[in-house]
Structure 1
């Protein structure tokens, strides 16, 4: 009899999960093909669904199912973890007020749409009142969650993205990077001057051809277009629903280099989503394991695999064929030199592997201070420029290439940025392990054979869902706790060799 309570709990959560998926598709639509003047209706739709999911999770029947399920002794490890995750979501959800959630949904939707206008017009002043309202409401939400989770305001928002992550853990890692990266950056720049010869690619590449190449390489790696799409948006992302992976990117005719890597980065996300455990679909234990592991999968694909010499050796003939180009600039050696060129720049998504963590650390410091009340919204541009000068020795000419470039804060997302760099560290450690278990991996990549690689990721990462936390996962897979030395070693081998 008690077993039925657990099954009833799964069924009730499935109804909520399906609402989340509907919201995901509506968000994707808003960013890609929604008519510009339809934003009011879309805001109402998303707000209503957001509040409805909140209401469904507050149902007393769910509470009763949780309490009865906790008495069942014969739950397997997946069911036990699923019960634990649903209970946590139930407790946090019950601490939040419906009206607050409505306000947050409306404020973030309005702010995001205004950001698109403000960014286009390079007008930070116009976004200030919108962002102030978002931060005010998210701080109220964070205060409520922090009491439940027994943590700081910022840590409460970190836990939206990664269970158990804290600013204390992040600071420990980021402090090591701050000690390592600036000096290492100088060494790399000096090494490049002496050793790296690049033939610039100045050709304009039609967007249609860039898309064709992106789709081709996605398929070669293992993406199945019968389960997904590739579209255009202002800010690249991967969303969608069960067996429906929606990738977006942006193209630049003058710089196909970064456009392609954007596509391959999001493909890493998509492959993770499509590889989650089928048996546990629509349940929290079957979801992706937080954003740190999610970012590890995208950065694993982009940085470890697709920027490697072996991958570019495989991909260069396709580039020449699709783009109808000839010459030494299109050969693997030159492409590798281009893709591993290190140069401090303003745009995070286009940043090289060495400077990227510094972009993340800047955003982490600013958003943490915003939530903790140490700086005001109007101060963001000056603080941003100060950090850019301190860490990268450059200063943005305008806010469009500075603090207006990312969508995150303007759609209400705080606590996500640090997971990018944590993901890169995880990716390095995972790749080190894979190379030991697949000793011919480099040869396989050079020959366009990715099935063993993808199968390894499916078996060791994707199929595990949220059965454990990210720290336990990396320890189980690699045999040791997260170790930043793997990331340092990877950078040294690639950029000083």
Structure 2
């Protein structure tokens, strides 16, 4: 760090550290809302979160920040400070584009919709859910328009940019268009190849307490720091909190322990990224995760690249048997078959890695025209069913809970997020291709339970970098090339058809 006098930059750092501390409280309150809050606390919590969102917006749009940003740009900053200032300006510009009254109204609508979704989904109550979803979409469109007016981007691109800075729908269209060309053929080939496999389905029930203990052991195996985080239960798995206090959740079904286990492993990838973000920059935007595509690359590095590795099942078997008992279906070779079984299914979070991109393409092809005003909320179920039929050959007519109501994202106003999942899968494939090129012994090490080479690589190339580099430069520095979707295709063909 430079020792030269930088008063404006230093003042900006102090302001952002205060915002970080208040964001800490907001994040924990939001986690509690999903994990522990009693039902009758919903309205008060929604109002409290809206109030906090408004306060954070006030702090982030303080008129004094404009002058401080301009003054800091003239100061003798080192390269890191310049990167930090870039991120401060990006955050400031985004905040200033949206009025405070919209921030608060959006927060209330999102909280109300998410809380209602928890019971409405199980009841297959689309008519009740759609009443809550309409204002969420209305506010999301309004936010998108404000961001569009400021940035010159389309409404959808303006939201996408909040999650994957610099990425545009034209880029997504190219990537997803290519996927649409080759993915259906790969799915058919893999299913034909697996048709004669003998797979034993483990016999439950599997008590939630036993599944929780198994999940905790898997998290330990994957290096999660329990002195800086915890695991709880919610209606939809997620990873929240802050780097100093990561809050993960999962969910349990007594007839299928693998759904909880793989979900927990997925969230552990998110959690380890958060726990290993650069602490020396904590409180500054540059210390945060660079993008949600990169964040999903960590969860999918853990869930798909690592946990579905043929050698990883041998590491899981003793943990599974410790908590669920011994039976043929829990042997390592059978666990691996179960974790790499390819079959079209209704639920995105339970999908195998081959069919998973189809779920993301479907959501992208609905949410983009929804935000652009080309379709309305009432059109979602029919479009969903048509695209499920086209992409995966499944009928969801009348089955809202396993169709368009299955995800919490839209109810929480997270439009523009879904493409990040498939971008993350592609980044993850590229990370592991680079690791194997640099370390030919990697697969043997994973099989022996020597996972530190994976974690050390991710920490050095991704976790510890925070947002110091913009995404294309981080990817180039980490892997030696720009994002290359060919690695993802080669990964699938090697694992499932090789």
Q: Tell me the TM-score normalized by structure 2.
A: 0.97
In the other structure, the counterpart of 2:339 is 339
> Is this contact kept in 2: 1:312–1:336, CA < 8 A?
yes
In the alignment, the residues of structure 2 paired with residue 220 and residue 134 of structure 1 have an alpha-carbon distance, to the nearest angstrom, of 39
SS of the equivalent of 2:6 reads: helix
1:151-199: CA deviation from partner (whole Å, max 9, x where unpaired): 00000010111111110000000000000111111111111114x2212
In the other structure, the counterpart of 1:249 is 250
In the alignment, the residues of structure 2 paired with residue 377 and residue 360 of structure 1 have an alpha-carbon distance, to the nearest angstrom, of 18
Q: Which of 7, 10, 15 matches 2:18? A: 15
1:297 paired with 2:298, answer yes
Alpha-carbon distance, 1:85 to partner: 1.5
1:278-326: CA deviation from partner (whole Å, max 9, x where unpaired): 1111111010111000000000011000011111012112212222213
> Is this contact kept in 1: 2:243–2:275, CA < 8 A?
yes
Alpha-carbon distance, 1:66 to partner: 0.9
In the other structure, the counterpart of 2:186 is 184
Q: Which of 79, 82, 90 matches 1:80? A: 82
> Is this contact kept in 2: 1:265–1:301, CA < 8 A?
yes
In the other structure, the counterpart of 2:330 is 330
SS of the equivalent of 2:248 reads: strand
SS of the equivalent of 1:160 reads: helix
In the other structure, the counterpart of 1:431 is 432
> Is this contact kept in 1: 2:69–2:89, CA < 8 A?
yes
> Is this contact kept in 2: 1:222–1:450, CA < 8 A?
no
In the alignment, the residues of structure 1 paired with residue 393 and residue 116 of structure 2 have an alpha-carbon distance, to the nearest angstrom, of 30
When the two chains are superposed, the root-mean-square deviation of aligned CA atoms in Å is 1.3
Kindly report structure 1 stretches of 4+ aligned residues shifted beyond 3 Å: none
> Is this contact kept in 1: 2:157–2:168, CA < 8 A?
yes
Instruction: Count residues with an aligned counterpart.
Output: 494
> Is this contact kept in 2: 1:21–1:242, CA < 8 A?
no
SS of the equivalent of 1:231 reads: strand
1:234-273: CA deviation from partner (whole Å, max 9, x where unpaired): 0000011132111100011100112100000000000000
In the alignment, the residues of structure 1 paired with residue 154 and residue 447 of structure 2 have an alpha-carbon distance, to the nearest angstrom, of 47
The worse-fitting range, judged by mean Cα deviation, of 91-100 and 400-409 is: 91-100
In the other structure, the counterpart of 1:46 is 49
> Is this contact kept in 1: 2:204–2:255, CA < 8 A?
yes
1:69-93: CA deviation from partner (whole Å, max 9, x where unpaired): 0111x31222111111211222232
In the alignment, the residues of structure 2 paired with residue 478 and residue 85 of structure 1 have an alpha-carbon distance, to the nearest angstrom, of 23
> Is this contact kept in 2: 1:292–1:470, CA < 8 A?
no
Q: Tell me the TM-score normalized by structure 1.
A: 0.97
1:436-463: CA deviation from partner (whole Å, max 9, x where unpaired): 2232222222222222221111111100
1:399-432: CA deviation from partner (whole Å, max 9, x where unpaired): 0000000000001110000100000000001001
In the other structure, the counterpart of 1:395 is 395
1:90-147: CA deviation from partner (whole Å, max 9, x where unpaired): 2232232221222111111111112222212111111223211111111111111112
Alignment of 1:336-485 (within 5 A): 336-396=336-396, 398-485=399-486
